[in-house]
A and B are shown apart, each in its own frame.
Chain A
Amino acid sequence: MEMEKDARPSWDNPMQFVLACVSYAVGLGNVWRFPYLCQMHGGGGFMIPYLLMLILEGIPLFYMELAIGQKMRLGSIGAWSAINPYLGGVGIASVVTSLYLCLYYNVINAWSFWYLFHSFQSVLPWAECPVNSNQTGYIEECEVATPTQYFFYRETLNISPSIDDNGRVHMGQALCLVLAWMIVYLFIVRGVKSTGKVVYFTATFPYVVLIIYLIRGVTLHGAMNGVKYMFTPKLEQLADPRTWINAATQIFFSLGLGFGSLIAFASYNHHNNNFERQAIVVSLINSSTSIFASIVTFSIYGFKATFNYESCLERMRLLLLNTFDMAEDTITLDNVDYWITELNRTHPDQFANLAPKLDTCDLVAELDTAVEGTGLAFIVYSEAIKNMPASQLWSVLYFSMLLLLGMGSMLGNVTAIITPLRDFKVLARNFSNETLNGLVCVFCLLLGLGFTTRSGNYWFTMFNEYGATFSLLFIVLIEIITVSYVYGLKRFEKDIEDMLGHRPNWYWKIMWAVVSPVLLISLFIFYIVDYIRGGTPTYQAWDAVLGKSVVMEYPWYGQAFIALLLVSSVCCVPITALYAFCKKKQKEAKSVPRHEHTVSTVSVV
């Protein structure tokens, strides 16, 4: 009976495990990072490096992490300590990186909640500028920027001009963050038993919304302009090394390798679960979702660009009509350009007066504005949504989808922390599941409140760029070298045979032993070189007067904090190795005198 209490909980069925992995891997990056990369690196041609990297590093590394988790049946700390006592630090580094990720990732969910709740209004608040205090005009900041930017930077974030100006906590944001953490807590409260039920929803509902949005998106006026423009392959981009580097890093981060979440999820599997097939399935689902999401994104881009282009033409048409007092139907949207040249020829003086107000309307320039990250999700998308008919409905659907994608990834992030913690018998005995999980959530919530202050978004960007990028590369590099060379591929093969019934074939072995480590080392070197060459790290600060973002350098404490972020997770590995080494030396020193004692007693006897 005692053993039953301590028996490791497990998924109710393998489907839950697959859905958990899908829910974790398919996240916000599929929606807001991949379409940007696709656009920047040659549209349809980007598929070639992307799919190649999937085969060369994505699937093999994913398979490796699942194998470790399922074999060791422990979280990342326990698993790596078991593989090699000197490399237990890799597990600790994973937990530290997951902690950083948990801290800032849920803030995105808080923003999604904020936007979702604000969608229940007859006029979306980011559709129009608010009127100023004496009702003579619109608020200046909103006039200089756009209403969607104003809503994001002023009303949602209440952002300060630079990272130095800390402000008070934004109450609305703080409330939404509390709600986000409460929901995450509910999802994981009983560990894998509750997570397993929740993932049926978090993994599948985003696809429902994506399909609905796909249908809506491609039927929008001008959507085809976007899709055609973005997907036409520009194969010359393949010659640029950055294309290949970005493809590699995107596959890497998109699959969520190195955080310990996959190891944690797999540790709850039955010993003979066929994770090989599942690894391939989940990786392919993740990549196809990225491609699917970019079709939706590009059709919305196309709609937005066409809308802006036609509004520009309409503005020019009215300007010409009103200045030259011509009948309304002489100029239509199609012949605006013709009339511009014509009127310039016939009435040059009057036209010269008009020149400052005249904008050039260019569809391709509109399509070329490429945005990624929170800017894409919360500014560009909301701008497109406000122009759709029945915009409240589309807004609610869209932000619910963002929420589910984010929550699904949070499940994995938090599981990566609590699984290793629960593996420590001390904690598991004294704290129930609910209490331990609750403590972790409260801890992350309190620290996360720092991101809801007025300068919070700048710290958020810092964490996003430095908290989990470089350290992950390092962690996974150590992982693959450990498995291939320290633990040994032979032992690893045997373990897999033990679990699956057959050995991994030559493709896997070549990838693990040669290709993936080489790729990872080159990515690692590239990151270091790029960081050194980049000079002082900079960030984008929102200038309320100009109504746009300006580049600023981080102050000294910002740079120190970046260094701290990078070093704190990476140095876990050497420190733990040193600690294990010292402990071994201590144990050896203690056991030697005892041995002598035994020998002497034997000789006496």
Chain B
Amino acid sequence: MWMKLLLIVALAGIYTQAKEDGRGQISGEVEEARWRVAESPDAFKVRLSLKSALGDEAYTWNENELYLFRAAMAYTMRQYYMAEKGQQVNFTSENIVTSEVTPRISFFFYVTNPDAAATITKAEVEAAIRLSRGRINSAFLLSDDTLEFVGLLATLSPPAEPTVEVWLIVFGVVIGFVVLVGVFLIVSGFRNRRKRKLKMDDDDDEGKAGEEIESGGVTNSGFEEEDDRRTQL
């Protein structure tokens, strides 16, 4: 009789233990040992740099933030499936399996399929992240280099607008200005010389007349000086 009681108690104990284990098992699915999550071939390592991004206004990382991450990733997967495959697959936060968070605030995660009992491949998760990267970043007030998915090949920003035009424009402006000034100087130089030549022809005529008038005239000391300097050379 008391053996049956013992059996019932034992069974009850095993049941509650199993239930506890079960509960533990469910939350353990979500927060498994770090090494086990990291071992999965489809796991991604996430690293957040809150202090360098936000400085003094950095929020403290806690369970709720991790929950936000899971929710954001679930959203990401849903959007990806909707956009790429046209299916509405209802990922929830429980499909995102994360590991322990280190003091650095880094952890591993992988995604499980709600409909089947399989993990979503790394390539698909990567494609999903690329699609909604901006939304994920803004949920955490971070950017591409402060919320890192380690191993994600970054798409480098497309090259800036062809910059050949800019320097050619500046060059064109400067050389146009230079040509204008040059033409002005050359033309005015020629015109001045022609004017001077005409004036000199007039003066020469006057000079000849002058000489006739002033025969045996006074020597111009100005010209003499010029001569002296010349002969010295």
Contact = CB atoms under 8 A, between A and B. Distances in A.
A194 B207 CA distance: 31
Contact of A136 (B153, B157, B168, B200): B153
A424 B175 CA distance: 33
B153 A3 contact: no
Interface in B181-198: 181-182, 185-186, 189-190, 193
B163 interface: yes
Interface in B132-175: 153, 155-160, 163, 166-168, 170-171, 174-175
A179 B178 contact: yes
Interface string A62-101: 0000000000111000000010000000000000000000
B179 interface: yes
A190 interface: yes
A488 interface: no
Contact of B159 (A1, A120, A131, A190): A131
Q: Which of A117, A136, A178, A190 has the most CB of B within 10 A?
A: A117
Nearest to B227: A3
Given A74-B233, A120-B166, A186-B182, A179 B171 contact: yes
A183 interface: yes
B113 interface: no
B178 A328 contact: no
Given A175-B171, A328-B49, A328-B52, A321 B182 contact: no
A1 B233 contact: no
Q: Which of A82, A322, A328, A329 has the most CB of B within 10 A?
A: A328
Interface in B176-227: 178-179, 181-182, 185-186, 189-190, 193, 200, 203-204, 207, 223, 226
A182 B166 contact: no
B92 interface: no
Given A1-B203, A186-B181, A121 B166 contact: yes
A135 B103 contact: no
A123 B160 contact: yes
B47 A182 contact: no
Contacts of B203: 1
Interface residues of A, number: 49
B166 A189 contact: no
A289 B171 CA distance: 30
B106 interface: yes
A536 interface: no
A168 B51 CA distance: 52
Given A123-B160, A328-B51, A328-B104, A182 B189 contact: no
A204 interface: no
B166 A433 contact: no
Contacts of A116: 170
B185 A190 contact: yes
B51 A321 contact: no
A393 interface: no
A120 B52 CA distance: 31
Contacts of A182: 175, 178-179, 182
A327 B103 contact: yes
Contacts of A3: 223, 226
B171 A117 contact: yes
Interface in B101-140: 102-106
Contacts of B106: 322, 325
Contacts of B179: 182
A61 interface: no
B182 A118 contact: no
Given A1-B203, A131-B156, A136-B153, A326 B104 contact: yes
Interface in A311-364: 321-322, 324-330
Contacts of B226: 3, 7
Q: Which of B51, B178, B203 has the most CB of A within 10 A?
A: B178
A189 B186 contact: yes
Given A1-B203, A325-B103, A185 B189 contact: no
Interface in A90-142: 113-114, 116-118, 120-123, 125, 130-131, 135-138
A432 interface: yes
Q: Which of B51, B103, B179, B226 has the most CB of A within 10 A?
A: B103
B72 interface: no
B50 interface: yes
Given A7-B226, A120-B170, A190 B189 contact: yes
A73 B160 CA distance: 58
Interface in B47-104: 47, 49-52, 102-104
B23 to A, nearest CB: 29
Contact of A432 (B157, B178, B185, B193): B193
Contacts of A114: 167
Contact of A117 (B50, B156, B170, B178): B170
Contacts of B185: 186, 189-190, 194, 434
B182 A189 contact: yes
A138 B154 CA distance: 12
A468 interface: no
Contacts of B153: 136
B189 A325 contact: no
A176 interface: yes
Contacts of B178: 179, 182-183, 186
Contacts of A194: 185
Contacts of B160: 121-123
Contacts of A178: 175
A325 B102 contact: yes
Nearest to B163: A121
A179 B174 contact: yes
* Top 7 A-B pairs, shortest CB-CB distance: A325-B102, A327-B103, A117-B167, A325-B104, A328-B51, A117-B170, A131-B156
15 contacts: A1-B203, A5-B200, A116-B170, A118-B167, A120-B166, A122-B160, A131-B159, A135-B155, A176-B171, A186-B182, A190-B185, A324-B104, A326-B104, A327-B105, A434-B189
Given A121-B160, A131-B157, A329-B51, 13 more contacts: A1-B203, A117-B168, A118-B166, A121-B166, A137-B156, A175-B175, A178-B175, A182-B179, A186-B181, A190-B189, A324-B104, A328-B49, A328-B105
